[in-house]
Amino acid sequence: MSILVTGSTGVIGSQVLARLQGQGVEVRALTRSPEKARLPAGVTAVKGDLSDIDSMRQALAGVSTLFLLASNAADELTQALQTLNLAREAGVKGIVYLSVFKAEEYTNVPHFTGKHAVERMIEQYELPATVLRPAYFIQNDLRQKDALLSHGVYGMPIGSKGLSMVDIGDIGEAAARELLRREKANGPLPRETYALVGPDALNADAVAAIWSEVLGRPIRYAGDDLNVLEQRMKAFSPGWLAYDLRLMIGRYQSDGAVATTADIERLTTLLGRPPRNYPDFAKAAAAEWAKG
């Protein structure tokens, strides 16, 4: 039997694969192009696509544990629900599903509500799954490099309410730990849910202050303009996705996305250490940028 990782060549999937390596389990990585995939040693590339039913039936054959990551796509919800149904048919005993923090609350944000619908299926069918709900990725702010270094501004319009941003390494670690726990169990285990969050609730001014300190120069917040954000996103994303992300950031501005103490303590227990904080990320990024 084996673990199948979907989204294997993406930002999160690669983090998961790296942490499954050398753990004494068979790991397969779903990819549209096995011949091009750069995977860790010992990981088997499996050709497949979440939107292709026949390929997923083949990919799930002999799989005992599934990491389900349905990336942002117009048919993300359909892909995820179909894959869960196929996993049930294949007799998969354990699932780790990557949802999103505040999925049940941000009802106007398409990809949040889509992920919440997947959570509802998991609950209604009592699937043996761990639902992971990551907050805004700290590493998204690596895209602020030019704005920070060249213009002295932090340009992501996250507003004043606060976000409990999470490091992608912590997401990968949490997912791998739950995949291994379910894979090594004798049978299906009860459902679990974790908020994947950072230890601090930071608003835009706090983030700008962190960058001012680590870069040794004044950094100001560029403001809450969502029109600018949407137009910027449309330069490298389809219009529907740019608007989806605009709606998400709008909810960050109006409501924030702050973890509870219980959320942080529960994640700390899962990881066996505190989640990574934003200042440590910023210091590491600044050191890399200083190398040129």
Q: What's the pLDDT tens digit per position in 221-272? A: 999 999 999 999 999 999 999 999 999 999 999 999 999 999 999 999 999 9
The span from the CA of 120 to the CA of 135, in Å, is 19
pLDDT at 209: 98
pLDDT at 292: 80
pLDDT at 189: 98
Contacts of 272 (CB under 8 A, 6+ apart): none
Tell me which residue of 77, 105, 113, 99 sits closest to 252, measured CA to CA. Answer: 105
Query: What does pTM read for this prediction?
Result: 0.97
pLDDT at 278: 98
pLDDT at 221: 98
Tell me the Ramachandran region of residue 62: left when phi exceeds 0, alpha when psi lies from -120 to 50, beta otherwise.
left
Question: Which CATH code is given to the segment(s) 2-133+168-196+263-268?
Answer: 3.40.50.720
Q: What's the pLDDT tens digit per position in 173-203? A: 999 999 999 999 999 999 999 999 999 999 9
8 A C-beta contact, residue 75 and residue 51: yes
DSSP category for residue 2: E
The span from the CA of 174 to the CA of 152, in Å, is 34
pLDDT at 25: 96
Q: What is the mean pLDDT of each run of 10 residues along the chain (292 residues)?
A: 94 97 96 92 96 97 98 95 98 98 98 98 98 98 97 98 98 98 97 98 98 98 97 95 98 98 98 98 97 86
CA-CA-CA-CA dihedral for 86, 91, 96, 97, to nearest 10: 20
pLDDT at 49: 96
First to last CA, the chain: 45
